[in-house]
Structure formats: C-alpha cells, structure tokens
Amino acid sequence: MLKAQETVLEIDLKKLKHNYKYLKSRVNKDTKFLAVVKAFAYGNEASEIALCLENLGADYFAVAYIDEGVALRKAGVTTPILVLHPQAVNFNVLIENNLEPSIYNTKILKEFLEITSSENKQNYPIHIKFNTGLNRLGFWQGDVETIKNIIGETKSVSIKSIFSHLAASEDLNEKTFSLNQIGTFKAIAHNFEEIFGFKPMRHMCNTSGILNYPEAHFDMVRSGIGLYGFGNSEEENKHFKPIAALKTCISQIHHLEKGESVGYNRAFKSESALISATLPIGHADGLGRIYGKGKGFVTINGKKAAILGNVCMDMIMVDVTNISCEEGDEAIIFDGNATAETLAEAANTISYELITSISQRVKRRIIRV
Ligand SMILES: *Cc1c(COP(=O)(O)O)cnc(C)c1O
C-alpha cells in the first residue's frame, strides 16, 4: 500500500512535453504556437510550465491579467506574452514588463494610446480582439475603420495580431455556428488588410479549435487545456496525458455504527455499519462543496471511495467500508487514470474548473523532464 504524508499536486513536465509535441503535430510546421498559462497555468504552476514550454520552443504565451505576466517575467520568461484581459489602471506595469495587451474596444484603445504616446513609445506591440459570436470581449466586425481612425498616423503602437475566440469549438452540434465565426473572422482579416494596408498575424483556435477546425489555424493557435492533458472527446483524450496528480493521505479511520452521521449538518447518515477515512483536503484547497454528498470520490488502493456528507474547509470524509486501507495510506483525488475530467463530470462541472480551483495552499511538486 502506497504511503503519503500530505496533500500534494504533482506536476509532471514529461507529460507536458508529450502534450505539447502532440498538439504541435496537429498544426502545420510554420503555424506559431501560443501556450495559454493564465490562472497559474490552469492551477498547475505557471512559471515552471512556461519556462519548460519556452525551452521546447513555444512562440508566445498568454495570461488573463497583467500581474500574471509580471510573475512570468520575474521568473525569467523572455518570450512575448499576450495579456488577454488587461485593465487600464495597470498599463504602466504592463509596459514596464514588456507585456502585450489585447485591445478589445475603443475605450481601452484610446487609454493605451494615451500612455504609449506620453511615454514616447515606438511600435509598441498590441493585439486587436474581435468578437465573432462569443459576445464576451472584442470589437465588432464593422469597427475596423474606427480602429484605423483612432490610431491615425501614430507610430506609438504596432498591431502585431488580430484575433477572435470560438464559442463552442468542442461541440460539433454547433459546427455551423463555429464555421460562421471562422467566416466572419476571415472577412474581418480581409477588411483589415484593405484598410490598414498590411497583414498582421491572425489567430482564432483554442485546443478544441486546433483539433476540430484545422482550416482555422491561421498563423497561430492558442492552447491551454490540451497542454495540461485534456482533449475534447474520449477519442482525443487518448492522445493526451494529464500532467497533474492531486494526492493526499488518510489521517484517521473511524468505525461507525448504523444511524451515525458524518460531518457538518449531519449531511450523511449511515444506514449500516460503516468505515470512514478522513483526508486533509477540503474546499479551501479547491475541492468544492459540489463534490460532497456522494457526488465526488477519491481512489484508495485502486478503489473508489465516495465523499461522505459535506466537504469541510480543510477535510473530507470518504467511505472506505469495502476498501482495505489504514491510516497513512495514499488517496488520489485525480491523476492520469482517475482523471480530473471524470471527477469534474461527476459533479456536473468541467475539468477546467476543478484544476484551476486547486488553491495555492496545496504544495506543488514538479517532476522534471
Ligand atoms: C483561455 C483561452 C484560451 C485557451 O483555451 P483552451 O480551451 O484551454 O485551449 C484560448 N484563447 C482565449 C482567448 C482564452 O481566453
């Protein structure tokens, strides 16, 4: 029986390398690769992940917020970093750290131009985001002329790319919608070239887009979840290896009689004699209450142990009645076999939410290439 001493998120860089190579094999040799490392590289460890991918030859990184980009620069990442959702209040920090903003409306464009002009910047790289159907962030198709008018003759910025984002790239029932988004983006790119007189880099596909819409790879693709080991179907998942394993240990075992309850609010009541194991991981570690009341489970000595009652802040209790185990044994929340995707689905959510929720309290252990 495997022993464990504390809760750890193991991150295997060999598996990251495998996923990177697989994704690269799905795009043309001259298509650039942007690795999305926002939200601590989806809950993993952004600096380690980015430095590893930089080494492997990733062309670009993306983060959501400016501070995430600053952390990468502090760790020594020198590759260009696109900030997907910058806030104008931190534009000076963005510029100091040589980060490249996504510009998605006229307000933020004007605010950025103000600062680049006042600092006498020349050709500061920016990326223009277009909305083609996700209706989240982005200029509209008809805004190209307006953008041109606002930028005017200023040389303080240089548009390095134009991009958009698919709303349902993983869902083939929405293929018509996705193809329509791709068509709109092509029209925007064409219009852009006519109005501006040059061709910036174009990109649109996230991981599922890479897998499902090779015709939309354009000049660069942007992958997050695929790098961390999840495809968009059971078939595709065979090619990916989840890079993270969340493991903990059994702190205590209790033998309970019929009719006893477990945990807060007595949310579980036993209908027969029961053995429970208490584990040092709770909702403050990112295992939310949605996993409680039998929905979520862990794996102990190769067997599934359901979560009993409510998830506490720092602990869960699981049912080990039919599992031979003792205090100090290892318990797996997710790994390459019992995947984060399966656990997430058991609670009606998605792998993205589960893995990005693993809180900073959980120790990260890096397994190197
Ligand atoms: C998060 C994000 C991605 C990455 O998506 P995955 O599905 O994880 O590959 C790509 N592009 C944008 C704009 C994003 O916000």
Q: Give residue 119's region: left, alpha or beta (phi > 0; psi -120 to 50).
A: alpha
- Predicted pLDDT at 343: 98
Is residue 15 situated within a structural domain? no
- Predicted pLDDT at 141: 97
Is residue 14 situated within a structural domain? no
Supply the CATH number for residue 91's domain: 3.20.20.10
Same structural domain for residues 64 and 202? Answer: yes
Residue type, 258: K
Residue type, 339: T
Same structural domain for residues 66 and 178? Answer: yes
In this prediction, what percent of the chain has a pLDDT beyond 90? 98
Mutate to test the pocket of ligand 1, among 206, 208, 228 (most ligand atoms within 8 A of CB): 206
- Predicted pLDDT at 1: 74
Is residue 49 situated within a structural domain? yes
Neighbouring CB atoms inside 10 A of 346's CB total 16
The residues carrying an active-site annotation are 38, 264
Same structural domain for residues 50 and 192? Answer: yes
Neighbouring CB atoms inside 10 A of 327's CB total 12
Domain boundary residue, one of 228, 263, 294? 228
In this prediction, what percent of the chain has a pLDDT beyond 70? 100
Same structural domain for residues 283 and 326? Answer: yes
Which structure tokens are listed for 207?
């991981």
Same structural domain for residues 176 and 266? Answer: no
Q: Distance from the CA of 2 to the center of ligand 1, in angstroms?
A: 36
Positions of the chain with pLDDT under 50: none
Domain boundary residue, one of 164, 194, 228? 228
Is residue 18 situated within a structural domain? no
Is residue 125 situated within a structural domain? yes
| CB-based contact 195:228 (threshold 8 Å) | no
Same structural domain for residues 346 and 310? Answer: yes
Residues 260-313: pLDDT tens digits? 999 999 999 999 999 999 999 999 999 999 999 999 999 999 999 999 999 999
Supply the CATH number for residue 349's domain: 2.40.37.10
Q: Which alpha helices (H) appear in the chain, and where do they start and end?
A: 13-25, 38-43, 46-56, 66-74, 91-96, 106-118, 144-151, 175-196, 207-212, 234-237, 340-346, 351-357
Residue with tokens 């190769």: 302
Same structural domain for residues 110 and 259? Answer: no
CA angle 58, 61, 63 (to 5 degrees): 155
- Work out which ligand 1 atom sits closest to the CA atom of 36: 4
Q: How many CA atoms lie within 13 A of 134 on its CB side?
A: 18
Same structural domain for residues 50 and 160? Answer: yes
Q: What is the number of residues in the chain?
A: 369
Q: Distance from the CA of 283 to the center of ligand 1, in angstroms?
A: 26
Q: Is the pTM of this model over 0.95?
A: yes
What is the distance in angstroms between the CA of the first residue and the CA of the last residue of the chain?
27
- Work out which ligand 1 atom sits closest to the CA atom of 223: 9
Q: φ, ψ for residue 305 (rounded to 5)?
A: -120, 115
- The set of protein residues with a Cβ atom below 6 angstroms from ligand 1 is 36, 38, 84, 165, 206-208, 222-226
- Predicted pLDDT at 230: 96
Residues 90-144: pLDDT tens digits? 999 999 999 999 999 999 999 999 999 999 999 999 999 999 999 999 999 999 9
Is residue 105 situated within a structural domain? yes
Residue with tokens 């990326």: 127
Is residue 168 situated within a structural domain? yes
Is residue 237 situated within a structural domain? no
Same structural domain for residues 156 and 291? Answer: no
Same structural domain for residues 151 and 43? Answer: yes
Same structural domain for residues 224 and 248? Answer: no
Torsion of CA 231, 232, 236, 241, to 10 degrees: 20
Question: Which residue's alpha carbon is at the smallest distance from atom 6 of ligand 1?
Answer: 224
Q: What domain count does the chain have? A: 2
Measure the CA–CA gap between 24 and 29, rounded to whole angstroms.
8
- Work out which ligand 1 atom sits closest to the CA atom of 85: 15
Structural domain including 351 reads: 244-367
Q: Distance from the CA of 293 to the center of ligand 1, in angstroms?
A: 32
Same structural domain for residues 58 and 174? Answer: yes
Domain boundary residue, one of 196, 228, 260? 228
